[in-house]
Structure 1
Amino acid sequence: MNVTARISQAPMSGYQWLIVALCTFMNCLDGFDVMAVAFTGPSVTEEFALTGSEFGLLVSVGLIGMAIGSMLLAPFADLIGRRPLILISLALATIGMFGAAAAPSVTVMGLFRLITGIGVGGILASTNVIASEFSNAKNRGLAIGIYTAGYGIGATAASLVAKATVGGDWRIVFYAGGAGTLLALVVIAAVLPESVAFLEQRRPSGALERINRTLARMRVAAVTDADLDEAATTRADTGRTGAGWLKQLLTPTILLWLTFITVMFGFYFVNSWTPTLLVEEGLSESAAVTAGMAISLGGTVGSVLYGVAARVRAPRVVLIGFSLLSAAMMIVFIISASTLWLGFGIGVVVGALINGCIAGTYTVGPPLYPTNVRSVGMGWALGMGRIGAILSPTIAGVLKDAGASATQLYVGAAAVVALGALVLVGLRRYDPESTRTPNGALTA
């Protein structure tokens, strides 16, 4: 039995949950980074005398950097290891955050925002895979749900720091983000092990000792060189190795990309446009911000709720349900938002559901790929998902300028999210989680 199968069947140890917690901490950096720009937007715009389009470009540069990092850095995780790439990406993100904090002009700030985005993109592609590979089959959905909740925690932290600096220096927010990223770099360098799945597949010098040292901390039985040789033979027999992997997995890869694009389209629409649209619907700015906070609040727990549900049903099936419910509740939210208490309550539900969808995409993706291409597969999926993240605010802005109402925009975004559910139905035949053996191991 290979290492991955042993981990899939064994109970989750405290050490494995520690690794999930470390990945969650790193995912907080994404939430902090994205929302740091949103919360400091008015101050940055005032200091550098930016137009709306110029500030929009500054925001987009970070998202573009994330796409580049996910798609171009992620393949190196399958070559040099998950851990080294995470450390490199954390170093880039640290440089980017401190550089943006000290930037003398918007051009320089934009350059460092790009560097930050590249680093964060590399971090996300690797930590998602690490969290998945160190989880057993039963708790994989829950572990990814906890991991995904890190985004909401980081966004909340950014809002608290930004609120404390209102009327003061906006650069403090970015210095705080840089300090947090530097702390993550130190902690990860000291604590995070290399992925045992990567060590099993690539077998660098000292691989067996490193694998067994990590397995011992996880209270999983040790392996031998013969076990690793047998696993390598099995991988070769399945044909899921080598340069032909993309051809073999082309259809599920495209379906996964479409899933990421549609889910992130809805997620970033809800998170970026809600306060503005509600103000135009007649709510006060304070009430609109409160409704936006409700969505963020719901998001903090939504991904964990998805994980709990994924312990009972197949993650893909749970994601279909979350997608359809998200689409329905988005429409209910915009219709009822004029009543603040009702809009706040439904906003929490919308935030929980759409964040649960993000957790679902992170859970469904990794099992589709063999170990030797898992990081590049997920990296490209995350990069493609950023296309949805970049397009949704832009398309909403164009339609709004053309006269579309808030209700029409929300209905359109809901339709895109519902489309993702249909894509997931087509992914069924490629989903290894649907072909578990009776003891819980994956057959593929």
Structure 2
Amino acid sequence: MPPTVDIPAARPQEDARPRVSDIAARLERLPMSGYQRRIFAIIASAWLVDQIDVALLTFLLGSIVVAFGLTPTEAGQLAAMTFAGQLVGNILAGTASDRFGRKAVFQVTMVVWGLASLAAAAAWSLPVLMACRFLIGAGVGGEAPVAQAMVSEIVPASVRGKYIAIMEGFWAVGYVLSGAISFFVLPYLGWRWAFVVVGLLSLVMLAVRRSMPESPRWLAEAGRGAEAEAVMATMERAVERATGRPLPPVPATMAVAAVRPAPRLGAVATLFAPEYRLRTVMAFGLWFFALIGFFGLNSWIAVLLKERGFSIVGSVGFVTLITLGGIPGFAAAALLLERAGRKPTTALFLVCAAASAYLYGNAGGDAVLTVAGVAVTWLFVAGFVMQFFMFGMWSCLYAYTPELYPTRARATGAGFASAFGRIGAILGPMIVPVLVRDHGPATAFQVGAGGFLIAALLVLILGVETRGKVLEAVSH
């Protein structure tokens, strides 16, 4: 049983500031309504456009290689710049969000990657394009821990994992839309206009985000009690209007905090405090090995298909189609995260991603050019299944990580874990061309599968279960 604390019916007259436990209890007793879903939709739709931009290079890399006459090493370096930017963005925006608030940092990240995307369309050399991709990565990477923290702090514990998993489902939709934009824009306007389209979308989402509230949990934790109370009261009135009935009372006793108060440490120091140390090792390793597998394979998948005989446009279309498998993958992960739990679901998707990546790497073989019908059919099935589990894996990572840390370090923990993942994402696209050159494409997929298996072992050995627990209870 999680530890409990008593929540008084009324705060003492001399202390008008709401405590963190008060805010948590009031948030957790709110039924899900159209109001919370609207906030979630704003975060998720912005997330959708972000991922369109991140995925764009997967589909445009073949054209950019031709336009700039890149060697495989240079192409790998270009792909790695996005992840280098994400690493920096994860750390800076994650820590800034815990210090300055969720809403402001969320807005800044959108401006950074939107302007960088428009600048990428005008890039006249490889170094300029690499700089633009770095900034795109910094903006989108900074957004990730902030979005995780916001959704986890607003949505009740009973459905928290499901909603974060659904948010990640927009990532798969964004990936597919990125492929669709590339498929229709590339033949007629070229790769530069694909960046223009995505940059313009960012302006629309920036306007939408302005209506988002600040996290009342963060405001209370930061000591800004009057603002926390104002936002909380606004949310309560909005939920009452949305549901058309009075809110349930705040329970007299609720599992929202540990019996022994946690020491007041800085956000980064908290990650390495004794009670969080093993969680941090698990989270950092999980992200590193999962992303070295995912991006090592996906950044090069269209290029590998081109080497197997597909045209540039044909390989883009094929990757777009198999990526559709990620959408039911997210849905399945959202269901299992709440029913089976975070730990077993995360391990299951990682193990299945490893198996399907191995199968995809060995699908079709040299027969793809001579027996096109049969080979492409098996290649499609194997690729669809691989994307099902790899994209479902993302739901697990994003649902699980922010639950491991307290509010004062939640975005920092998610940001640092994501940053370790970006190190893997940087290494993956660099390792793959060497493996392909020396040992063939199948070896690259085998190494990616190994990364998924190591990540699964870390979860099984060091992971803790967080399903259905109030954030203030599970983070102590």
TM-score category of the 2 structures, normalised to the smaller one: 0.7 to 0.9
Partner of residue 165, structure 2: 145
Determine helix, strand or coil for the equivalent of 2:264. coil
Residue identity over aligned pairs, in percent, reads: 25
Give the deviation of 1:283 after TM superposition. Answer: 5.6
Counterpart of 1:102? Answer: 122
Conserved 8 A contact 2:80-2:425: no
Give the direction of change, closer, same or farther, for the CA distance of 1:4–1:347 in structure 2 (3 Å limit).
farther
**Residue aligning to 2:233:** 212
**Counterpart for residue 238 of structure 1:** 261
**Match of residue 332 from structure 1:** 359
Q: Tell me how far 1:418 sits from its aligned partner.
A: 1.2
Residue 348 of structure 1: aligned partner: 384
Choose which of 409, 414, 417 in structure 2 pairs with 1:378. Answer: 414
- Number of the residue aligned with 1:399: 435
Query: How far is 1:49 from its partner?
Result: 4.5
Match of 2:52 in 1: 32
- AA aligned to 2:447 is G
**Matches of 2:426 and 2:455, distance apart in 1:** 17
1:325 partner SS? helix
Counterpart among 413, 438, 453 of residue 418 in structure 1: 453
Aligned length: 432
Instruction: Name the residue aligned to 1:298.
Output: 325
Q: CA deviation at 1:222?
A: 8.6
After superposition, the Cα gap between the structure-2 partners of 1:241 and 1:316, relative to the gap in structure 1 and judged at 3 Å, is: farther
Q: Give the distance between the partners of 2:299 and 2:79, measured in 1 at CA.
A: 11
- What residue is the counterpart of 1:173 in the other structure? 194
Output the amino acid matched with 1:139: V
Which sits farther off after the overlay, 373-382 or 27-36? 27-36
Are 1:247 and 2:273 counterparts? yes
Residue in 2 that maps onto 1:183: 204
Letter aligned with residue 203 of structure 2: L
The answer to whether the 8 A contact 1:196-1:214 is kept is no
- Which residue of the partner structure matches residue 337 of structure 2? 310
Q: 1:289, CA displacement in angstroms?
A: 5.0
Choose which of 126, 130, 133 in structure 1 pairs with 2:153. Answer: 133
Q: How much has 1:5 moved relative to structure 2?
A: 4.2
Structure of higher RCO (CA pairs closer than 8 Å, 6+ residues apart): 2
Q: Which deviates the most, 131-140 or 356-365?
A: 131-140
Alpha-carbon deviations, 1:98-131, whole Å to 9, x = none? 2222334433333232222211111112112112
Q: Is the 8 A contact 1:145 1:305 kept in 2?
A: no
Moved more, 213-222 or 419-428: 213-222
Separation (CA, whole Å) in 2 of partners of 1:48 and 1:284: 20
Preserved contact between residue 315 and residue 364 of structure 1 (Cα < 8 Å) = yes
In structure 2, distance between residues paired with 1:16 and 1:419: 37
Asked if 2 retains the 8 angstrom alpha-carbon contact of 1:70 and 1:383, the reply is yes
Once residues 334 and 389 of structure 1 are traced to their aligned partners in structure 2, the CA distance between those partners, rounded to angstroms, is 19
Deviation at 1:332, TM superposition (A): 2.6
Question: What per-residue deviation string (whole Å, max 9, x for no partner) do you get for residues 179-206 of structure 1?
Answer: 11111111101x2111121122113253
Counterpart of 2:342, as a letter, is P
1:4 aligns with one of 10, 16, 24:
24
Q: Which residue of 2 aligns with 1:365?
A: 401
Q: Tell me what 2:79 maps to.
A: 59
Q: With structure 1 as the length reference, what TM-score do the two structures score?
A: 0.88
> Rg larger in 1 or in 2?
2
Deviation at 1:77, TM superposition (A): 0.4
1:266 and 2:287 are equivalent in the alignment: no
Deviations 1:393-444 (A, max 9, x none): 2112222222x2333322221121011111001233x44438x48xx97584
Matched, 1:433 2:437: no
Q: Which residue of 2 aligns with 1:155?
A: 175
Q: Unaligned 5+ residue runs, structure 2?
A: 1-6, 8-20, 241-246, 366-374
User: Contact (CA 8 Å) 1:26, 1:123: kept in 2 or not?
Assistant: no
Q: Report which stretch shifted further, 196-205 or 45-54.
A: 45-54
Counterpart contact for 2:54–2:136, Cα < 8 Å:
no
Higher mean alpha-carbon deviation, 235-244 vs 245-254, is at 235-244
Aligned equivalent of 2:370: none
Q: What's the offset of the Cα at 1:48?
A: 4.1
1:23, 1:128 within 8 Å by CA — same for their partners in 2? no
Whole-Å Cα distance in 1 between the matches of residues 142 and 236 of structure 2?
A: 26
TM superposition shift of 1:298:
0.8
In structure 2, the CA distance between the partners of 1:277 and 1:108, relative to structure 1 (3 Å rule), is closer
Q: Does 1:81 align with 2:101?
A: yes
